[in-house]
Structure 1
Amino acid sequence: MSNLTIAVTEFLLMGFSDIRELQILYSFLFFLIYSAGLMGNLLIVIITTFDRRLHTPMYFFLRNLSIVDACFISTTLPQASVNSLMNNRAVSIIGCAAQIFLVVFLGYFEFTLLTVMAHDRYVAICHPLHYPVIMSPRVCMQMTLTCLFTGLLYAGFHTGYTFQLSFCQSNVLHQFFCDIPSLLKISCSETFGNTLSLLASALVVGVGCFVCITASYIRILSTVLKFPVKEDQRKAFSTCVPHIIVVSLFLISVLYVYLQPPSSSGSIKDVFFSLFYSMITPFLNPIIYSLRNKQIKEALKIVMKRKHSLKSKG
């Protein structure tokens, strides 16, 4: 068994098709989605950074979410696109470990950041007079750094714990990128401790954040319904709806993939739901926020006008 374990020096990711034409098509689609998602998120980062009117807690968190999404989508899609184009599914153990660390870290960071954003909307709508004090720049920075550092610890623990296992039965991962559930399914070591820690931590983080988000929106809803002016109700709902959509897509897809027992065989459903939290959600974030946010659209127009005027002068 030890000889077989040493022989596993790389993993093979699942291909989307064995037909060459379809491989090229998938590669092209992944590249388009990646380019659009990356450009959209970076555009929000640029707009919220250089437009002083958007230097508020809400847009501070939105800027950080866009940075996380840009990194998240860059962790999985470029490799998937290249692998499909080159018909090469191999990934080294070090590369797999690095990808798992980044996916877990960025996923944790995104979900906790979405929780903080829900709290920000609750304070802004339910306690508008105390909002500048409760959500001061210092508090916003502390919240963001807490999400970041706890995410590093969370990802570091699970990545290290996973790669203490032996892999001697198979090196084929039924996934288009490296993730912990896929590795647990092919390990020849005892994975009960890994499974228990993964389920427990996923439930604590996932359910904990979900409870906080739900509580925030219940209080927001009860406050918004008391608004005398219907237009104010509509504006409040339009601010919160994108957040709810992103949270729902992200949570459902992550929990489906990570709460399955390792004994279950890989299926197309796993890949489908993985696409949602690793690709679709980061891609949709800039679309949802930019299309439903007048301030973002106005700031974008100003940036485009400045760019046009600079070109004219040049």
Structure 2
Amino acid sequence: MGTADDTNEGEGHHLPATEDWPRGFGEASWWPFISAAGAAGLYLGAALFFLGHGDIELVPPSAGPIVFIASAGLFLFGLFGWLYHAYVADYWSRGTDSRGAGSLRFGMLLFLGTEIATFGAGFIYFFFIRVGTWPPGELPHLLSSLVLINTALLVASSFTIHFAEISLRKDNRKGFLGLLGVTLLLGIVFIGGQVFEYYTFIIEEGFTLTDGIFASAFFSLTGLHGLHVTMGAILLGIVFVRGLAGQYTAERHTSVSTVSMYWHFVDVVWLFLVVVLYVGGAA
């Protein structure tokens, strides 16, 4: 199964569909549908959570978390298969030509466009509730030192991955791996900081998803962003391992560039979250 140059029986493939899955469907792939089903399940799990924690329990309280966790797993599984299908499967044995690399970068831009729309819907919801009576109840202390530290870490990680890519383009493999490793470490520390923030809010202060409209917007947006940072950290880990295996050179770095684009995206979204939720919510 192969490449755009394969012409066996008149069936060829054009990147990013380097192989078909299931076999026999030509350019088709079911991975995007699996990812979409998982993403839809996240919203279903959130809806079931509210239905199970209202004044009248319409569904069991555990239904929402179970569906949400299962859907997150399905979404990540579909995303992994999709990325492997499109970026990795045929790349271990050969490089990507300039046309294929451009297609993959354009595909990442289209994907980020859908992500902007997703986060945009969440921001619009927050802006809608923000113009009403404010605050809509007692809010915890939002803009803490932990948030500022986490912000500094994520901003720093954008610089480290940028210069890691520059090092690779200059054939500085040691500098590339070192800066990429730092980026991965900063991302993991950021995730740990967000988990600790959730622990403080939920366990110590009793501020949960069901505590009003601000809480629902806060946990939905920050949780969605945390999921994206986690996916980004997984991608960085894959790129780091492949870098250690010598898979990248100054001429062969398409997946490094696309992952870098994704990481810059989650960094920018976080800055918007800090200004809109943490600063705007406390104002």
TM-score normalised per structure 1: 0.34
Which structure dedicates a bigger proportion of its chain to helix? 1
Question: TM-score, normalising length from structure 2?
Answer: 0.36
